[in-house]
Amino acid sequence: MIIPAYIRRIAAAASIGAAFVAFAGSALCAEPLRPPSVPLVACDPYFSIWSPSDTLPGSPTRHWSGKDNRMTSQVSIDGKVFRAMGRQPDSAPALTQKSVDVLPTRTIYVFENAGVRLTLTFMTPALPDDIHVLSLPITYVTYAFQSLDGKTHDVAIQFDASGDITVHDPAKQLVAGTTQKAGPLTIARLGSKDQDQNMLVRTGDGTCIDWGYFYLAAEDSVADVTLATGTDYRYSFGAGRTAAKPGINGAIPGGDAFANLRFAPFKVGATAQTRTVILAYDDLYSIQYLGKNLRPYWRRNGWEAADLLTYAKNEYETLRKRCEAFDAELIADVTRAGGEKYAKICALAYRQCFAAGKFVVDDNGQPLQFSKENHSGGFIGTSDVFYPMSPLFLLNGPTLAKSFVVPFMNYAASERWKFPFAPHDLGSYPRANGQQYGGGESRNEGQMPVEESGNLLILFAAIAQMEGNANFAGLYWPTLEKWAQYLKEKGFDPENQLCTDDFAGHMAHNVNLSIKAIVALGTFGKLCDMRGEKEKAAEYAKLARDFAKRWVKEADDGDHYRLAFDQKGTWSQKYNLVWDRILGLGIFPPEVARKEMDFYLKNQNKYGLPLDSRKLYTKLDWITWSATLTQNRPDFDALIDPIYTYLNETPNRIAMSDFYRTNDATRVNFDARPVVGGVYLQLLYDKAVWRKYASRDKLNASNWAPVPKSHMDAPPTKSGPRKAKKGGN
């Protein structure tokens, strides 16, 4: 059996050794994954740059929203110039790309030309056991050259990044800081010229940043960094080509400015020679929460951009080794749990999930995380987005799991929120000043009462199971009790309301939504039991079991269960069942999952299992949850394989879309969303694996407390019915 190249590389990098290689080789090897779009810089919703083509020199690089965020690179080998990244200059031929591998924290390209191999690595150190490192807005770009023909070659490198990375509108004026020094680094800076940069003003979907500063840095002993405009200098790279450094005087349009880096020429032989570029973005303030501007978490101790870049330089080797080891271990675990195709899906989802949110610091020094609904409304802190996102966060410990729950619950428990059920969102990214979806804070219309209340009760139970106590739930107990009471009264047979799949519209008697309510009532009983409230625990456990017995009878439709209680001949994915087994509730008989799975296997299409009987579209995250229901590997593989085919064949070259058509692999909507973190759910069934990752939580934050009442005094945000459906969770 041929062992896939990326398996061999990551195994060697982490010194996992022969046992892992033998395990990897024993599995059915998958064809190479062709990502719809390849993550290059993946730090947060604004500092997020992708390559939407099969080869890195095959297209301009873009922000996840599709706007130009141009990075280009050229290399000279023995005087001949090649393009390594981007389409410009078109006069230079592209390096021949041999492979691209996407790992959790790294993207690795391999090129070969003119007797030289170039391994180009983009590394964002998204290490979940260290939130300081996870919060750093940095990406390393490392060039490693090696001779293939036994000869010595002369090599030089140019890298540049456009000012359009720093503004939403490339016509907006930029100001370029002079080239700076920080220890051994030479640094270029670009940012909006506006005095206050309209910080945290622009909101909504499909937006790029308009404040803060982009930094490009490298060691001054081997690199020359220039701020420039126009193309003459950029395209003058190579032997015999010269152009004066134009510099930047005053303000210029963002699309015209660029930061340019050139490494001094060097010799390449059999031993690899490396050069590294540091890319960083200091947004100064990241989120406005209930009227207060919050700093990014990495700035919590007074750090400035120079501190960030110095740390990045000093810690590069340590972080490189940690990322290599983490990637190898996680890939081994997900491969063991679900096979090579599943592992590649998980790897592609990893940075996308974290890059769709931001870590900031609260008044207690604790990390708060705010996710963005990329391309599905632009909302911030949406509960039916962090619910499917949660498996990746839950897997990695209590601090990560609580980081997105705390800001949501502080708002939900405040006097601002008047309803007996949970909110949908906290506002429009990056301003978390109060719900804007549907009726906002003022009207009951367009809410998701059963959906959101069930989400939060389930997440609190998952956190309690991880910690072995319900102390965290105790901080918000009156609110959780209120939501449990609501589900007790309204959850079994939901009224005409939206669920997370709101693109499908309102529906009464939703069978899958009923499952969520029943499971959530069971989790509330579990929380009561962990708090010593035995009588109430018994009451809710019995209620959940009784509801489940009714559900089995009333939802039955022969060889499957219905979409809605009153709609014969319909069906839907019952992905909400997963928590019954993961949390050890034992509410539904296992025959329910078996019956559903047998039906799914007969009714999926080439690119996946439809969401329900109404349309051909599906949700990638929900398929991966449904695939886990029986915990039978052939069932899992049968539902996962079409997702892999979809990613390989979709014509839409965008960051992984979770909402697509199962007949032709075309995207319906949604790009670059954090919900893809849900693909890690399979690992939560393995308690030993979950315990291993969760126990590495270095911070183990415990100083969580409701936000001071004074912070709740921000005026309610204006909101109203949405003009178009958000679509999806």
Domain ranges of the chain: 41-324, 362-706
Q: Is 184 helix (H, G, I), strand (E, B) or coil?
A: coil
pLDDT over 60 at 176, yes or no: yes
pLDDT in tens, 109-126: 999 999 999 999 999 999
pLDDT over 90 at 156, yes or no: yes
Mean pLDDT along residues 345-362: 98
pLDDT over 50 at 268, yes or no: yes
Confidence (pTM):
0.93
pLDDT of residue 16: 37
pLDDT in tens, 645-679: 999 999 999 999 999 999 999 999 999 999 999 99
Give CA–CA dist 25/19, Å, rounded.
Answer: 10
Give CA–CA dist 130/115, Å, rounded.
Answer: 41
Q: Sorting pLDDT into bands at 50, 70 and 90, what band is 460?
A: very high
pLDDT of residue 23: 34
Counting every residue written for the chain, the total comes to 729
C-alpha angle 21-22-25 in degrees, rounded to nearest 5 = 85
* Contact of 42 with 353, CB cutoff 8 Å: no
Give CA–CA dist 330/346, Å, rounded.
Answer: 9
pLDDT over 90 at 20, yes or no: no
Report how far apart the first and last C-alpha atoms of the chain are (Å, whole number): 41
pLDDT in tens, 687-710: 999 999 999 998 876 556 554 444
Q: Which CATH class is domain 41-324?
A: mainly beta
357 residue type, one letter: G
pLDDT over 70 at 242, yes or no: no
Contacts 24+ apart (CB under 8 A), 422-425: 422/383, 422/449, 422/452, 422/453, 422/455, 422/456, 422/483, 423/383, 423/452, 424/379, 424/382, 424/383, 424/384, 424/448, 424/452, 425/373, 425/379, 425/380, 425/381, 425/382, 425/383
* Contact of 98 with 112, CB cutoff 8 Å: yes
CA dihedral 236, 176, 66, 91 (to 10 degrees): 0
Strand-pairing partners, residue 484, are none
| Residue 560: partners with Cβ closer than 8 Å, 6 or more residues away | 571, 595, 596, 599
pLDDT in tens, 378-431: 999 999 999 999 999 999 999 999 999 999 999 999 999 999 999 999 999 999
How many alpha carbons lie under 13 Å from residue 576 in its C-beta half-sphere?
30
pLDDT over 90 at 44, yes or no: yes
* Contact of 678 with 386, CB cutoff 8 Å: no
User: Higher confidence at residue 246 or residue 512?
Assistant: 512
* Contact of 467 with 453, CB cutoff 8 Å: no
Average pLDDT of the chain is 90
Mean pLDDT along residues 359-368: 93
CATH topology of domain 362-706: Glycosyltransferase (1.50.10)
503 residue type, one letter: F
pLDDT of residue 662: 98
Closest CA to 487 of 508, 511, 514, 465: 514
pLDDT over 90 at 222, yes or no: no
